[in-house]
Amino acid sequence: MGSLFYYKYVFMVELLVIEGMFATKLRRRRHFALRLAGSLFVLFGVVTLFGTVIPFVFHPLFVSFMFLLFFLLTVAAMAFCFRDTLWNILFCCFAAYTVQHIAYLIYTLVANLLLNSGAGNGYTGAEVAAPSVEEIAINVVIYLACYIMVYAEAYFLLISMIPKKPDLQLGRSSLVVISALVVIVNIVFNMYTVYNESADELSVFLEEVYNLISCLLVLQMQFQKLRQKQILEDYDVVNRILQQERQQFKRLKENMNIINVKCHDLKHQLRAIRHGSAVDPVELKTVEQAIAIYQTVAHTGNETLDIVLTDKMLFCEQNGIEITCIADGKAISFMGEEDVYSLFGNALDNAVTAVEKLPQSDREIWLRINDFGDVVTIRVENKFTGKLRIEDGVPVTTKKDTAYHGFGIMSMQMIAAKYGGKLNVEVKENRFILTITFTNVSELKRELKQEGSAL
């Protein structure tokens, strides 16, 4: 009886510690400290009732009910202390309970192997031989080592995946499956193992290993669903951005057509000047502006790339940024118009954002497109200042509006992958270098030609 009486307190502390670690991602309610103190008082008050006011019944159903009740009370306490959605709280509590149970199983396995302590027999009310002082000391070291290791791994591998102010809603069906698995794996399997008195040591060991594997699979499923949800959300954002870029491209193309028409009209105005006709000074000013614009127009051999470069070069000229462009536009003829616009638009926008913060002498951007036959490389290089944070091999946005910013690199990765290319980011001292490499270009061009013939 004594073993279970004390373990219920240990269980509550273990569960609250890991739930607290997950709760660092949640938003606290007002008067959080008072709410937390009141919750702890109620939780440990209920724990104390079992074994004092409510006598222990050493039966698997009773013990399972007791631990399940303790867990549900912690869920209620989390809802009382944090103002996040019930979905977020349940996600964190289910994950925390499973992590606690994994730590318990690892500790039990190690303790039984090293000390032959028969951990868990106290649940049944069985008498356990009093351990020596040396065994108690070793047991404490094993206990602390197992729990610290498991909780630390959970923090770095799982909790770090959860963003601040998260949306952890995985859907009702997923919640039902996960909750059922948590109850079955963490409580039912464990009670079966503990109360299976007829089983030999090898059977108990195998049952605990099976329970441990089941817990790991439950956690893997839960966080895999979360990861899939985050990927789909990012994909939706990128698609919305691409849709906006398509609209921008159409408007920009219309503007370029207007410029071309205006430049064509110059011939007629110049013809009038040549024949000595009176010219309005305002018209002359318009002519000069049109000529200035026309001088900025890029000519790479790719109409879409010319439109993008012209737009960016006009902006850079007005803001004291120099763009050096050595580009064979025909080399990327295998790419669709919208993909060219999005790829180079994002690459140059990122470069412009970086150099705008620099002194005038360092405001330079280099763009190069090289055709090596079956391999085409795109290289955008610029200087930058400050520190660049890299996550998953790509730089993280420094803009405050992270809802739509920060997806430029992801969009470029998707476009590069669409044509079998690979994007690489490199930082050398104070230079940011973006390189995109396309291979098997001749095959891509052949496929494009076949599609054109079919049409």
**Domain final residue, candidates 221, 237, 253:** 237
DSSP-derived letter for residue 300 is: S
50 shares a domain with 174: yes
Whole-prediction pTM value? 0.58
302 shares a domain with 232: no
pLDDT at 411 over 70: yes
DSSP conformational letter for 455: -
Choose one of 214, 237, 260: the last residue of a domain.
237
Q: How many Å apart are CA 44 and CA 275, to the nearest integer?
A: 101
Residue 135 lies in a domain: yes
* Within a domain: 151: yes
Expressed as residue numbers, the domain containing 327 is 298-454
CA dist 206 and 222 (Å) reads: 24
Q: Residue 342 burial by CB count (10 A; 0-12/13-18/19+): exposed, middle or buried? A: buried
As for how many domains the chain has, the answer is 2
User: Domain end: 200, 215, 237, which one?
Assistant: 237
Query: Is the residue at 245 inside a domain?
Result: no
Q: Which of 34-38, 309-313, 437-441 has the lowest mean pLDDT?
A: 309-313
Q: Is residue 116 part of a domain?
A: yes
Question: CA 83 to CA 86: how far, in whole Å?
Answer: 9
168 - beta bridge partners?
none
Q: What is the CATH number of the domain that holds 448?
A: 3.30.565.10
CB 117 within 8 Å of CB 75: no
Q: Tens digit of pLDDT for each residue in 45-56? A: 999 999 888 888
Does an H or E element contain 259, and which?
Answer: helix 201-274
Question: Each residue of 13-31: pLDDT tens digit?
Answer: 999 999 999 998 888 999 9
| Confidence check: pLDDT of 153 > 80 | yes
All residues at 6 or more sequence positions from 393 whose CB lies less than 8 Å from its CB, including other chains? 425
Does 257 map to a domain? no
CA distance 432 to 190: 54
Please tell me the predicted confidence (pLDDT) of residue 435: 92
**Do 435 and 337 reside in the same domain of the chain?**
yes
Least confident among 27-41, 60-74, 252-266: 252-266
